[in-house]
Structure 1
Amino acid sequence: MPGGLSYSQLRLLGTLEDIQPVTQHRLAQALPVSDPAISRALRPLETAGLVQACQDPEHVRRRLVSITEVGSKPSTTTGNRSTPSCVPPCSKPASRMSSTCATPPGSPGS
């Protein structure tokens, strides 16, 4: 696999790229896997800098996940896609409950 990623990781990245930013729960439904399984699958991808997760500004207990620029490179994923410009980067890496995402342009609070 490109970049040393497993098929499951590539599939997760490809799905995430299509529906980002998305909650972990919605990503799990899209794949379809359990919530604990998606949490375990995201950990190494987040550590590698391929995805980022941050607190959902609309709900403090939810985390929004999006693919990073590094994670969207063709050598990492299955297609030649790029991160949409409307997907804001996280202001800080997500910890359990401490970080928030930047507000997308045109949304309330921007």
Structure 2
Amino acid sequence: MATKKSAKKSAKKSSTPPSKRWSAKVTTDSTKPGPGLFKKSGKAIAEGLAKKAVSPKGPGQAMQMLSFYENRGGKNLSEERKRALEMAKTILRSKEGKATSKAATHKTPAKG
């Protein structure tokens, strides 16, 4: 009798109970993105996280939320999800660069 091999590898189950994991200890005062946001396309994720209501401190805060989500997902994220998250990161980085360049151009020259 032949045994079937699973085509999909399952992620290793953690022996650490959920209450003892590092992510259970994270507390934050930040706002939370809407439900289902991380299941959308990379562009939609970036736009959703970049809103002032979700990330009042700007694109940097949005990038932190995105990285946190990605770190919590770990090996359980599919390749498609990883690509969407990387796309969102790229978009947020470009927005972050624009925000910093705008701040740098509006500085007044030093008097001396």
TM-score when normalising by structure 2: 0.33
Q: Which has the larger radius of gyration?
A: 2
Question: Per residue, is there more strand in 1 or in 2?
Answer: 1
Question: Per residue, is there more helix in 1 or in 2?
Answer: 2
TM-score when normalising by structure 1: 0.34
